[in-house]
Amino acid sequence: MPTPIRAALLAGAALFVSGAAFLASGAARAEIPNRTVKIGVLTDLSGFASDSSGEGSVAAAKLAIEDFAKQNPGLKVELVQSDHQNKPDIGSATARRWITQERVDAIVDVPFSSVALAVQEVVRDSKAAFIASGPGTSELTGAKCSPNTVHWTYDTWALAHGTALALLRTGKTKWFFLTADYAFGHALESDAAAVVKAEGGTVVGNVRHPTAAADFSSFLIQAQGSRAQVVALANAVGDTVNSVKQAAEFGIRAGGQDLAALLMQLSDVHAIGLRDAQGLYLTEGFYWDANPETRAFGERFGALTRGRRPTAIQAGVYAGTLDYLRAVAEADTTDGKAVVARMKARPTKDPLFGEGQVRADGRHIHPMYLFQVKEPAQSKGAWDYYRTVQTIPAAEAFRPLADGRCPMVQAGATR
């Protein structure tokens, strides 16, 4: 039996522990002021990536908030949006204002690698999170990785390796690269060329073009003269659209060469049209017409976007936003590092990307797919553009964890 004094001490200790626990739980709840989470969609609302991200990314975030609210009525989610105009200084200034003055808890989307890298540096030392879907640079989860960042949809490594490896395994070993002359294009070409060479293939030539090029004729003549089996386009958006259209005029595919776009979105195919885009190979992480769940999302998305269907980037905004909000609810905090840590601590699952995982470097892992654009006669209707050639398992789809040089990853780590 304890003495009266000891009993009093034990009771006091119990009261202290109970009080501390109460204060701690109250502090945790206080980390979500007014039980409100604020998300900012920072995207391209007016430039040449506005079709693949833009207002569609805003619509995707709204749908994620709607689905989250059904299961979590006790948390309110507010949404703001802004156009970074494809300029790193505007993107970083907007991110800083949102975080310091407007209490934005998470920034999502951010197409264009240069803008995304600038935004990541602003977010890194803050209490916010960055859920990237739009940018392609694998540096976000490589040497410049951040504990506040999750990179959801794709990156240059996944696109280049997915397309190159799949086509090489079908015996297409001679490659020619038509590359945009800036860092993103160089990275795409470099990653794909490395796979070609590693698999015993040959890069028979390459040519670099300026951004926003209007005339690709001289570049395409060089591609034809190379006698490559695959003409790979290491460019993006408007440059990809123009080069594909002109490749059709030059009869690249009719002459027996395959055309592969190392970065292409559904919106790009829509802009080109099936007549000129037919037969084109590309790698993506999502297609709206893949299964009943993606089709149902496509219908909901179309109701907000005048009948359009979501691109992979827009699908990534939905899935990344939804998983972020779930992690906020689970962790009972909006502290960016804590929420991202929670996202990494358990598997992810959503109706668009299925089961996945956020790795230690912030890279979201899911299957990727090699698609071929359908011929006009094969399409059953509007936005029915892809046929699946190959599924790339999640374990093979992205750069091995140990190869990224992310400082957060311990030496010797594997996938």
DSSP string, 222-244: HHHHTT-SEEEEE--HHHHHHHH
pLDDT of residue 343: 98
pLDDT of residue 402: 93
- Name which of 401, 310, 380, 372 is nearest 163 in CA terms: 372
Report how far residue 158's alpha carbon sits from residue 165's, in angstroms, rounded to the nearest whole number. Answer: 10
What is the residue whose two structure tokens read 């046929």? 387
pLDDT of residue 187: 87
pLDDT of residue 412: 46
Q: Do the Cβ atoms of 291 and 354 come closer than 8 Å?
A: no
pLDDT of residue 1: 38
What is the set of domains in the chain, with CATH numbers? 33-154+290-366 (3.40.50.2300), 157-284+369-396 (3.40.50.2300)
Q: Do the Cβ atoms of 265 and 312 come closer than 8 Å?
A: yes
Report how far residue 386's alpha carbon sits from residue 378's, in angstroms, rounded to the nearest whole number. Answer: 10
**Tens of pLDDT, residues 50-72:** 999 999 999 999 999 999 999 99
Give backbone dihedrals phi and psi of 213, rounded to 5 degrees, phi first: -70, 140
DSSP string, 34-93: GGEEEEEEEE-SSSTTTTTSHHHHHHHHHHHHHHHHHH-TTSEEEEEEEE-TT-HHHHHH
pLDDT of residue 26: 36
pLDDT of residue 117: 97
pLDDT of residue 167: 94
Report how far residue 254's alpha carbon sits from residue 107's, in angstroms, rounded to the nearest whole number. Answer: 45
pLDDT of residue 366: 98
Report how far residue 254's alpha carbon sits from residue 113's, in angstroms, rounded to the nearest whole number. Answer: 34
Give backbone dihedrals phi and psi of 133, rounded to 5 degrees, phi first: -120, -40
**Which residues lie below 8 Å from residue 379, measured CB to CB, with a gap of 6+?**
274, 385
pLDDT of residue 302: 98
Ramachandran category for residue 383: left, alpha or beta (phi over 0 → left; psi -120 to 50 → alpha) = left
pLDDT of residue 322: 98
Low-confidence residues in the chain, pLDDT < 70: 1-30, 410-415
CA-to-CA separations, 132 to 11, 140, 266, 321, 398, in angstroms, rounded: 50, 9, 19, 10, 16
pLDDT of residue 13: 37
pLDDT of residue 182: 87
Strand partners for 150: 131
Using alpha carbons only, what angle is made at residue 304 by residues 301 and 307, rounded to the nearest 5 degrees?
70
